[in-house]
Structure 1
Amino acid sequence: MNPAVISLSATFFAFSVFLYYYVTGTQAKKSIKRVNSWFHTEEEKKRKSFIYLFGDRFDSSEISESLRKKLMQANLPIKASEYAAVCLLIFAMLWFVCHFLLQLLFPLDIVLAYIFVWAGSKIYLNSRKDKRAADFNKQLPEICRMMSNTVKAGMTLHQGVQLVAKELPAPAGEEFNELNQELNLGDSFDDAMGRLSQKIASDELKIFVSTISIQRRVGGNLAEVLSIMADTLEERERVNKEINTLTAEAKYIAFLLPILPVFMVIMMNVVIPGFLNPLFTPLGLILIVIIAALQLFAFFLIKKITRIRV
């Protein structure tokens, strides 16, 4: 046989093999990339630089577990160590302002900076968490009705989850889309719903998840139960709005009551340098403790009065 024909045939065969493996490899990479976009892989969580070694250890420790849960419920896509680093940076800036600009003595400068960072972080995370839960609760009656209609139509709960993920906007659409992807990968329905209830700090969502789990185990008319739950949630939302309107003034007073004296004494210290120095005497420290105790008592008393559960 002609050597040129043999060489050409071998070249064509090698090119065909290369083309086959190239196409299959490209498809495999696309599939892996698609799965990785659904879930955070361990390699994505690993940082490349040794500078962040301490942050990785903090993220994997039990100390950061509570912070990770708060960040997840607040829908902040950052690591616990990154959030802690931002808080430390803000603390250093506030300490600089208190010590050098306001001329506060030690340890008042550190205490004030810490209080501002602690209170600001708590208010920020709670506000984001509550807003996300409130937005989800507004969509929950519609979720109940859509899943009730899918059950009445003879479809499965998984198909109801797909319908909610397709039809509703964020935050319910995003969360149910991730729930649908977990179910597509073979995860248990109860486990996936349990993780959903942990992501959003909503009592209504916990009731919704518990109701579906119980009805799936013991049986019953799930469609009718979901329809009744939708009406109940709408009525509860209406009552909560009325309560929030009536108690809004008292809630703002509860926050302003401890803040105004602090800003007042800081402004007096700016106008009169050394105005706060007498507070570091034994009698001054006793007065600080008494005033702080009274302010905290008034704050929690107002919060207790205005906290009406429906």
Structure 2
Amino acid sequence: MTPQEWTLVVLLFAAVGCGVLGLLEALATRKFLKQLNKQIKPLYREDAYVSHSLFDKLAAKFNKSEYGKEIEVTLKASNLRLTPFQWILIYVTTWLVLSYLALLLLGVTFPYQFLLAYLVLKLSVKKWFESRQSKLAQAVNQQLPEVCRLMGSSIRAGLSIQQSIEMVAKEMKKPVGDLYQVMASELKMGTALQVVLERMNERVNSKDVHLMNHTIIIQQRTGGQLSQALDHLAKTLEERERINQELKNNTTEARYIALTLSLMPVFIIMIFNMVFQGFLMPLFTLPGLILLAVVLLLIGAGLLLIRNVANIKV
């Protein structure tokens, strides 16, 4: 081989060797950066995870608006882990799907299909939120007696109210554990106890929670025996929960009958409209709209009467 060929071979082997070494160094650096990122990840600020695309900027702007904040309060009270912008997207998509189903199944034409879908969705979402808020309140109410006893024992042991709240956050399960974890974090940030308890009342729509928080505030102001008051409150809440459960069991049949009777006309109309094309079109004339309004008013009045009879307050 000529000297030029030997030179090319040496350069080729050197290039291959440098390439292999570079690849190994890149893999080692990637592994090191991955471990380093895992170690410093808890130190990242929240805005480090925020993407700066146009879609994310629009979502962030909507979430910070007054309307977005109102939706956020409602979502948190309903125990939904969604941002306001995500909820609006789901809401609009569901509205369009219901509008298409109204056109396909009921034969409702433009613009009545969109109006009907909006009314159905508005009422359904309202009832769904109320149901989730009620379930969250019931779950919290079932744990409140244990919370009162735990806080009372902590205070008798010499802990402060803030320390007793932290104790509840560590010892209690969901959903109370998560709620008190938020309270403990707010107290660590320097928020006043009364403000923290008022925010708790906004998150959970429960009279028992309001009663407990007001008891803590009053006892703190007057300097009374908070531990003794919490023990008495625990017994009262247990008795109220027992009575409410008995009333719920005795009124379940009436609630299901009311729901069945209210949904029966809807299914009958859908079946008739599928068999006879255009069956619903007379309802969208002036006499039909008047008749529809009267029927809806009568159904609503019946549901309201049954609800008032079955909803016994304790």
Q: Please classify the TM superposition score into its range, dividing by the shorter chain length.
A: 0.7 to 0.9
Deviation at 1:55, TM superposition (A): 4.0
Match of 1:32 in 2: 43
3-state DSSP of counterpart to 1:63: helix
CA distance in structure 1 between the aligned counterparts of 2:68 and 2:163, rounded to whole angstroms: 36
Task: Describe how 1:60-71 pairs up with structure 2 within 5 A.
Answer: 60-71=64-75
The one of 253, 273, 282 equivalent to 1:249 is 253
Aligned to 2:194: 190
Q: Deviations over 1:128-150 (max 9, x none)?
A: 22111111111100010011111
Query: In structure 2, how many angstroms separate the alpha carbons of the residues matched to 1:149 and 1:282?
Result: 68
Tell me how far 1:29 sits from its aligned partner. Answer: 4.9
Deviations 1:177-196 (A, max 9, x none): 22222222333222222222
Change (3 A) 1:108 1:30: closer
2:66 alignment partner, SS class? coil
Distance of 2:259 and 2:236 partners within structure 1: 32
Give the corresponding residue for 2:122: 118
Equivalent positions of 1:88-107 (< 5 A) are 88-107=92-111
- Which amino acid counterpart does residue 232 of structure 2 have in structure 1? I
Flag the structure with larger Rg. 2
Q: State the superposition RMSD in angstroms.
A: 2.4
The equivalent of 1:297 in structure 2 is 301
Identity level (%): 32
Aligned to 1:179: 183
Higher mean Cα deviation, 256-265 or 220-229?
256-265
Shift of 1:45: 9.0
Q: Contact conserved, 2:102 with 2:117, CA < 8 A, in 1?
A: yes
Instruction: Give a deviation string over 1:71-129, Cα, whole Å, max 9, x none.
Output: 00112121122112101101111111221344223344223322332232223222222
Return the TM-score normalized by structure 1: 0.82
Instruction: Find 1:224's aligned residue among 212, 225, 228.
Output: 228
Per-residue CA deviation, residues 263-290 of structure 1 (Å, 9 max, x unaligned), is: 2111110111011112223221221111
Instruction: Give unpaired runs (5+ residues) of structure 2.
Output: 1-35
1:8 corresponds to: none
Over residues 225-247 of structure 1, what are the superposed CA-to-partner deviations in whole Å (9 max), with x where a residue is unaligned?
10000000000000100111111
Query: How many pairs align?
Result: 279
TM-score (norm 2): 0.81
**Partner AA of 1:91 in structure 2:** W
Specify whether residues 50 and 31 from structure 1 end up closer, same or farther in structure 2 by C-alpha distance, changes over 3 A only: closer
Structure 2 residue aligned with 1:240 = 244
Higher alpha-carbon deviation: 200-209 or 95-104: 95-104
Q: 1:265 & 1:230 partners in 2: Cα distance? A: 51
Give the conservation status (yes or no) of the 8 Å contact 2:105–2:273.
no
Q: Which moved more, 1:81-90 or 1:55-64?
A: 55-64
Tell me what 2:289 maps to. Answer: 285
Distance 1:94 1:273 in 2: 19
Q: Mark the runs of 5 or more structure 1 residues left unpaired by the alignment.
A: 1-24
